Amino acid sequence: MVKIRLSRGGAKKRPFYHIVATDHRNKRDGRSLERLGFFNPIASGAEKRLEVDAARVQYWVDNGAQLSDKVNLLLKEFAAQAKVAA
Residue ranges covered by each domain of the chain: 2-85
Confidence of residue 86 (pLDDT cuts 50, 70, 90): low
Report d(CA 61, CA 57) in Å as an integer.
6
> Considering only CA atoms, which of 52, 3, 58 is closest in space to residue 32?
3
Mean pLDDT of 12-31: 93
For residues 19 and 74, is the Cβ–Cβ distance under 8 A? yes
Report the chain's mean pLDDT, rounded to a whole number: 93
The sign one gets for the Cα dihedral 8, 10, 13, 19 is negative
- 2-85 belongs to CATH 3.30.1320.10: yes
Mean pLDDT of 51-67: 95
* pTM of the model as a whole: 0.91
